[in-house]
Chains A and B, each alone.
Chain A
């Protein structure tokens, strides 16, 4: 077996085996404890439901995905901009940053009606919720990345009479990249959750529905198989997005190797 095949096997086999174990365990639990369908569907029922509703799921996953990616993208841009402002103006950071914590703990029930008022129902409203939920990790990452710099590097730039802009572009922003990658990995998952929750408050409209609405409707009819199929869909969506962000992040960070452990002394 070639090295590439072996490497692929090493990556894919363990999660695949784990998945099989979970499914088998799940089926066993239903049989052993006699769990009725109105509580827990069996793996076959979920699969059957997924196939039956393949068309709806096929639309729902990309729809929710699009909203999540848009919310995530907005978080990256706005979060980084906010981090920039915080890093350049200490007094702004000191007065506003503590309230950014609010984003971490925001009870969406209270905030959603306001978001709908400003952004409307449909795609924009869903994106708004997704954005709010995924913003905070980027703000912290950007702020940390732009301010936690080896003081020697800052002095190096000072000694060579760098302007504030030069310092920002050539030192602070590149320094922030590893932090932003970590923040992005956390934020993208939250964006998916945000999109699903957002649909409950701002969704519907148009012919096709997203995962949030789909799961809520299935829930209303006690159709547990369909609910699980929907959750399966959202899991796949999250994995896909997270994996993409991770791979992109690793590729970008290839240049930064050794950045985390700053270029410090070695024996």
Chain B
């Protein structure tokens, strides 16, 4: 486990894309290790941009962003084990599911038997052990998303970034996967940063919700989610749940004005 310094530390971060689009403006944020936080906000508010900054895929135009005390790109190479779950499952169609899941370990080097074993374990975690030898085209959308999750989990990440992973799924599958994700987090307590449009989803999964304004994105609120873990379906029908959702919703509306 990492020492209790902040895993993610952003100070006055601004991000301007080429072409002049101001995605983020003076974002300051601190994440302790082992926390599950959601980022919610209107479209274009830069929440996905924050994920990309943390993953080291882009660099901030201004301000400082440190992951485990180092610039994100360097941190990714050694200081912290990072994984990213995209909105699309992004599985390589020419590889079997198990080879897809093993990909991050393959890129890092190491023996084949070790990584196939790790892949199997990851697939078991998400309930896809029986489909290891299938091809992605033979899986349903929900199953592909679970495979994508397995691929993220196979490296045993310390920091897991998720960019609206369940957005394209139907509501039933989505809620099921929410429950699964929550269970997985409860087991390992990695640090999770979850971007979503869906407030109920954010409330269900997180300990903390960060609400962002419309572009250029700024943090307008930081809400604690007091419910206990593990979170179950039953939570969704509780009045406190609805009340918190409403609160977040009105914060959002205020911010988009």
Contact (Cβ within 8 A) B84 A155: yes
Contact (Cβ within 8 A) B90 A153: yes
B2 adjacent to chain A (CB < 8 Å): no
Q: How many residues of A contact B (CB 8 A)?
A: 27
Contact (Cβ within 8 A) A152 B88: yes
Q: Which B residues touch A155, using CB under 8 A?
A: 52, 55, 57, 84, 86
B96 to chain A, nearest CB (A): 9
Contact (Cβ within 8 A) B84 A263: no
B92 adjacent to chain A (CB < 8 Å): yes
Residues 244-267 of chain A, each 1 if its beta carbon lies under 8 Å from chain B, else 0 = 000000000001111100111111
**Which single member of B77, B107, B135 contacts A157 (CB below 8 Å)?**
B107
Report, as a range, how many residues of chain B touch the other chain. Answer: 20 to 34
Contact (Cβ within 8 A) A150 B76: no
Task: Known A152-B88, A160-B104; judge A259-B94 contact (CB<8 A).
Answer: yes
Task: Known A257-B137, A266-B140, A267-B141; judge A161-B77 contact (CB<8 A).
Answer: yes
CA of A170 to CA of B89 in the docked complex: distance in angstroms?
17
Q: Which residues, 112 to 161 on A, are CB-close (under 8 Å) to B?
A: 150, 152-153, 155-161
Task: Known A150-B90, A153-B90, A257-B137; judge A160-B55 contact (CB<8 A).
Answer: no
CA of A158 to CA of B90 in the docked complex: distance in angstroms?
13
CA of A170 to CA of B144 in the docked complex: distance in angstroms?
20
B103 adjacent to chain A (CB < 8 Å): yes
Contact (Cβ within 8 A) B135 A152: no
Contact (Cβ within 8 A) A159 B141: no
Which one of A153, A156, A259, A267 has the highest number of Cβ atoms from chain B below 10 Å of its Cβ? A156
- Quick one: closest A residue to B83, CB to CB? A159
- Quick one: closest A residue to B173, CB to CB? A267
B136 adjacent to chain A (CB < 8 Å): yes
Contact (Cβ within 8 A) A263 B136: yes
A102 to chain B, nearest CB (A): 33
Contact (Cβ within 8 A) B144 A255: no
Identify whether the interface residues of B are mostly helix, strand, loop, or mixed: loop
Q: Which B residues touch A153, using CB under 8 A?
A: 90, 92
CA of A258 to CA of B144 in the docked complex: distance in angstroms?
13
Task: Known A256-B94, A263-B144; judge A160-B135 contact (CB<8 A).
Answer: no
Q: Which residues, 172 to 230 on A, are CB-close (under 8 Å) to B?
A: 174, 177
Contact (Cβ within 8 A) A174 B76: no
Task: Known A161-B108, A265-B141; judge A156-B94 contact (CB<8 A).
Answer: no
- Quick one: closest A residue to B100, CB to CB? A263
Q: Which A residues touch B93, using CB under 8 A?
A: 256-259, 262-263
Task: Known A258-B93, A267-B141; judge A159-B88 contact (CB<8 A).
Answer: no
- Quick one: closest B residue to A255, CB to CB? B94
B168 adjacent to chain A (CB < 8 Å): yes
Q: Which residues, 58 to 98 on B, are CB-close (under 8 Å) to A?
A: 76-77, 82-84, 86-94
B170 adjacent to chain A (CB < 8 Å): yes
Q: Which A residues touch B104, using CB under 8 A?
A: 160
Contact (Cβ within 8 A) A257 B135: yes
Q: Which B residues touch A162, using CB under 8 A?
A: 107
B171 to chain A, nearest CB (A): 11
A171 adjacent to chain B (CB < 8 Å): yes
A166 adjacent to chain B (CB < 8 Å): yes
Q: Which A residues touch B55, using CB under 8 A?
A: 155, 159
Task: Known A161-B107, A174-B94; judge A255-B86 contact (CB<8 A).
Answer: no
**Which single member of A159, A171, A177, A263 contacts B82 (CB below 8 Å)?**
A159
Q: Can you list 13 pairs linking A and B with CB atoms under 8 Å apart?
A: A155-B52, A155-B57, A155-B86, A161-B76, A162-B107, A257-B93, A258-B136, A259-B94, A263-B90, A264-B88, A265-B87, A266-B144, A266-B168
**7 tightest A-B contacts by CB?**
A258-B137, A265-B168, A266-B141, A259-B93, A152-B90, A160-B104, A159-B84
Query: Which B residues fall within an 8 A CB radius of A?
Result: 52, 55-57, 76-77, 82-84, 86-94, 103-104, 106-108, 135-137, 140-141, 144, 155, 168-170
Further contacts, 9 of them, CB under 8 A, given A160-B108, A266-B144: A159-B56, A159-B57, A159-B83, A161-B108, A162-B107, A166-B107, A262-B88, A263-B89, A264-B88
Query: Which A residues fall within an 8 A CB radius of B?
Result: 150, 152-153, 155-162, 166, 170-171, 174, 177, 255-259, 262-267
